[in-house]
Amino acid sequence: MVAHSAPRLTDKKLTRVPTHVAIIMDGNGRWASQRGLSRQAGHRAGTENIRRVIEAFAERGVEYLTLFAFSTENWGRPRKEVDALLRLLGRVINREINTLHENGIRLRHVGRLNPLSPRLQKKVQEAIELTKNNRRMTVSVAFNYGGRAEILDAVRRIVADGLTPERIDEGVFRSYLYTADLPDPDLIIRTAGELRISNFLLWQSAYAEYYATPTYWPDFDAAEIDRALEVYSHRQRRFGLVRAGARPSDRPPPPKTARRPPVGADPPLAEGKDSGDRAASS
Ligand code: FPP
């Protein structure tokens, strides 16, 4: 007799799987205080959950997963908590990198690495280097990440490269973001019940679908993932177009200029003709 595993929700109902899921992992502190534990214990439990969530999304065919682990604003938390989060980043790399690598996961970082200690920066860089050719899923860890800081960094680099205003369009701008080689997120999940974006992927989330759950991050499990993916599969995405004209796929039309032009190159084509974001938002 052939053994069958129990059918997953995804086996029955999913019609579309998002290519890129991004998650605001919130609620570690509340999870811990409900149990009389320290906030640091909550972050440890949250870190444990990351491994399970990566595997679950990879199994469901998601190609890109971006996790908001530490924001540019989080430096303002108590010193003890900031130190614990920095230590956790190092530990999670030490403990998980080989398993991630064996499972075909490519690791990326989004944000600014420079305020981290040289040792921690090196650890992150080595993990990125080790996994750079893996193709099953790309996991981007947003650590010391802020959407506004990212946009400012892009503007600074555009100015430093000497680009004139007429050469800057959406495709060029995108190529200066930390996420230049990633598709925009299709689905942004926030755990722990808050309904705000908290400076996460501000540019990239223009047409993302949002999903919020009251579940605290350490408890966000495979059943929760299936629920989020099911809700997403029933969303109608329009990318600013009317229903009848909406593209059948999940992807907006590609920007006219997708690559950074070499400094001194001819200006790109005028913007507006073929841009996916040309119509008013719906
Ligand atoms: C929010 O919980 C969580 C974070 C500060 C980011 C998520 C961090 C982890 C999952 C652990 C660290 C991960 C890595 C990769 C180092 P909160 O403290 O804001 O919860 P609260 O709102 O209930 O207080």
pLDDT at position 44, please? 97
Confidence check: pLDDT of 18 > 90: yes
Section 273-282 average pLDDT: 33
With a 6 Å cutoff on the Cβ, whether 46 touches ligand 1 is: yes
Give the predicted TM-score (pTM) of the model.
0.85
Mutation choice for ligand 1 from 24, 85, 108, CB with most ligand atoms inside 8 A: 85
Confidence check: pLDDT of 124 > 50: yes
The better pLDDT of the pair 85, 240 is held by 85
Q: 10 φ, ψ to 5°? A: -65, -30
Section 97-103 average pLDDT: 97
Tell me the pLDDT tens digit for each residue of 183-200: 999 999 999 999 999 999
What's the domain range around 204?
A: 20-146+184-233
Is 108 a domain residue? yes
Mutation choice for ligand 1 from 217, 219, 220, CB with most ligand atoms inside 8 A: 217
Give the pLDDT band of residue 267 (cuts 50, 70, 90). very low
Please report the atom of ligand 1 found closest to the CA of residue 31: 23
pLDDT at position 53, please? 98
Ligand 1: distance of its center to the CA of 167 in Å? 40
Confidence check: pLDDT of 12 > 90: no
| Average pLDDT score over the chain | 87
Is 243 a domain residue? no
Confidence check: pLDDT of 282 > 70: no
Ligand 1: distance of its center to the CA of 210 in Å? 19
With a 6 Å cutoff on the Cβ, whether 190 touches ligand 1 is: no
Section 47-76 average pLDDT: 97
Is 174 a domain residue? no
The better pLDDT of the pair 25, 3 is held by 25
With a 6 Å cutoff on the Cβ, whether 228 touches ligand 1 is: no
Section 45-54 average pLDDT: 97
Indicate which CATH number applies to the domain containing 82: 3.40.1180.10
Section 118-122 average pLDDT: 98
Is 3 a domain residue? no
Q: Which residues are catalytic?
A: 26, 74
With a 6 Å cutoff on the Cβ, whether 28 touches ligand 1 is: yes
The rounded distance, in Å, linking the Cα atoms of 186 and 209 is: 6
With a 6 Å cutoff on the Cβ, whether 43 touches ligand 1 is: yes
Is 265 a domain residue? no
Identity of the residue numbered 78:
P
pLDDT at position 261, please? 56
Ligand 1: distance of its center to the CA of 19 in Å? 24
With a 6 Å cutoff on the Cβ, whether 88 touches ligand 1 is: yes
Is 257 a domain residue? no
The rounded distance, in Å, linking the Cα atoms of 91 and 261 is: 39
Is 240 a domain residue? no
Ligand 1: distance of its center to the CA of 233 in Å? 27
Give the pLDDT band of residue 77 (cuts 50, 70, 90). very high
With a 6 Å cutoff on the Cβ, whether 69 touches ligand 1 is: yes
The better pLDDT of the pair 277, 18 is held by 18
Ligand 1: distance of its center to the CA of 4 in Å? 37
| Counted domains in the chain | 1
Is 242 a domain residue? no
